Amino acid sequence: MRPSTIAQLGETTFDLLVIGGGITGAGIARDAAMRGLTTALVERGDPGEGTSSRSSRLVHGGLRYLEQGQLGLVHEAVRERLTLLRIAPHLVRPLQFVFPLHAGDRIPRWKLSLGVLAYDALAGFRNVGRARFPGKQDVLQLEPLLREKGLTGGVTYFDAQCDDARLVLANIRAAMAHGARVGTRMAAVAPVLEKGRMAGMEVEDRETGQRGTMRASVVINATGAWADDLRRLEDPTADRLLRLTRGAHVLVPRERIGHRHAIAFLSPVDGRVMFALPWGEFSYIGTTDTDHDASPDDLRVRREDVIYLLRSVNALFPGAHLTDDDVRAAWSGLRPLVHDVRRDSASSVSREHALVTGKAGMLTIVGGKLTTYRAMAAEVVDKAVKRLGREFRPCTTDTEPLPGGEAADLELFRARGATLGLPSAVVEHLLRLHGTESAGVCNLTLANRRLLERLHPAHPAIEAEVVHAARKELASTVEDVLVRRLHLYYETRDHGVRAARRVAELLGAELGWDEDRMEREAAAYRKFVAREESWR
């Protein structure tokens, strides 16, 4: 399963051309291809690279949106949460939250209790677990290391956590399995107009500089934070549609905080709702919500973001004493929110989405959140189908499992890993990332036993996963593998740099690289790590 070339993408006129390979574009391509539309998607980088792999990794209703009165958004989100738990059980997992409250917090306990009751009600009381309302001592029994001074009690409730990067990838792969053509590292550079109407896009291969023309009856702008840039290619006079806000996160060893559950809390710094979330042996803390007025391409974690996050969690867990040295990794992503002049603060801007038609007919989808991507995609494809004026199959994206999610019970696959002599940590890692496809990864090792070896002594990923990433998951750089496919960037102290050369060799064997290219690719990854760590 390899990306299409410019020549291949220019061979036909598609029903639908999706520009942008984040979660929204991936969901649109999957939905359209499943309905029978001839579909193409182009992404200027790696799927999910821009924003969708830099999220809070939550599939959630958005408890804090109830405070803003966004009942419709929350209802849609809790419905979609149940759907994703069903179609991607290996990537979306239930998570119990403890929300402690202290004297002086801006949200009183009675109000939070009513909120979580409404949360369960909007889910039709079909959540994975019911909300509870523990008092002070019960909260401390759940989380003994919380700040006891001023603690008045709290609530517990359920949401879900996801592997955001791999969720994007699963949707892209599902689209391709249903016939969609996908081009990665291809940028849309100019509209193709016929009688003033959008008839396609000129695209450029960012690696070779080659250009080609893609033609389509309907063009979809799903570029997220870059949506206004693309709209101005269609219409230089287009009004601003987006308000970009930046969300930063830090990852630390979980033992440094010592929490047992996911924690939602009000930042002692400014009263915002924040999270401290478990991620294996790590915890990540997020998120900030500040306006981003620069180019979407100019995005870095800022030192003030890290200080704010560490101060907030240190105040809640006074024994943590987290410092910069504890931060294993940090990341920052952009929220492409719908611009609303009536709302002042970044946190108050609506997370609802908007679907607009441009001057030349391009459809642009902005706003929303990761949790609701599937419903947003269905709305976009419905609009495209109406414009095409032909009959297609109905939407079934809520019932067909995503790749790897065909079974929730993975005991047979767990046994398969054990028969190969893989340590339990490696087996669990494979199941968590690949679900039912872990059997296919293991099968690669039958022809080459070396592929059973770990890529890094401090991480359970094995060499076979790199081969799988190249053959099945569109990976074409070391960064693709170590950041978005296998997560060594986040989960090892050196950000996977020790494995970079071996990953380049494995990719090179699949993609036909010579020795010089392998070294350049490994060096490019080391440069990427240095840039991402510049906040220090």
User: Residue 117 in contact with residue 63, Cβ under 8 Å?
Assistant: no
Closest alpha carbon to 143 in 267, 257, 312: 257
Complete domains list, the chain, with CATH: 6-52+165-239+350-388 (3.50.50.60), 81-161+243-348 (3.30.9.10), 411-532 (1.10.8.870)
Please name the amino acid found at residue 351: R
366: its two tokens: 């902005």
What burial class does residue 513 get, using C-beta atoms within 10 Å of its C-beta: 0-12 exposed, 13-18 middle, 19+ buried?
A: middle
- Residues contacting residue 246 through CB under 8 Å, at least 6 positions apart: 288, 289, 290, 291, 292, 299, 305, 332, 333, 334, 335
Q: What is the pLDDT of residue 331?
A: 97
Q: Mark out the alpha helices in 404-512 (DSSP H runs).
A: 411-419, 424-434, 438-447, 464-472, 478-479, 488-491, 497-511
* Neighbouring C-beta atoms of residue 437, cutoff 10 Å: 22
Handedness of CA 471, 475, 481, 487 (dihedral sign): negative
From CA 496, how far away is CA 501, in angstroms rounded?
Answer: 10
Q: Mark out the alpha helices in 213-361 (DSSP H runs).
A: 227-234, 254-257, 303-316
Q: What is the pLDDT of residue 417?
A: 85
Q: What is the pLDDT of residue 69?
A: 64
- Per-residue pLDDT tens listing for the chain (536 residues): 779 999 999 999 999 999 999 999 999 999 999 999 999 999 999 999 999 999 999 998 777 676 666 767 778 888 999 999 999 999 999 999 999 999 999 888 888 888 888 777 877 666 777 889 999 999 999 999 999 999 999 999 999 999 999 999 999 999 999 999 999 999 999 999 999 999 999 999 999 999 999 999 999 999 999 999 999 999 999 999 999 999 999 999 999 999 999 999 999 888 889 999 999 999 999 999 899 988 999 899 999 999 999 999 999 999 999 999 999 999 999 999 998 644 444 444 456 889 999 999 999 999 988 999 999 999 999 999 999 999 999 999 999 999 999 998 899 889 888 888 899 999 999 999 999 999 999 999 999 999 999 999 999 999 999 999 999 999 999 999 999 999 999 999 999 999 999 999 999 999 999 999 999 999 999 999 999 999 99
Q: What is the pLDDT of residue 350?
A: 54
Length of the chain: 536
Query: Cα angle at 301 between 297 and 302, to 5 degrees?
Result: 115
Question: Strand pairing partners for 63?
Answer: none
Q: What is the pLDDT of residue 342?
A: 43
Handedness of CA 254, 53, 428, 131 (dihedral sign): positive
Indicate the helix (H) or strand (E) that contains 27. helix 23-35
Name the DSSP class of 106. S
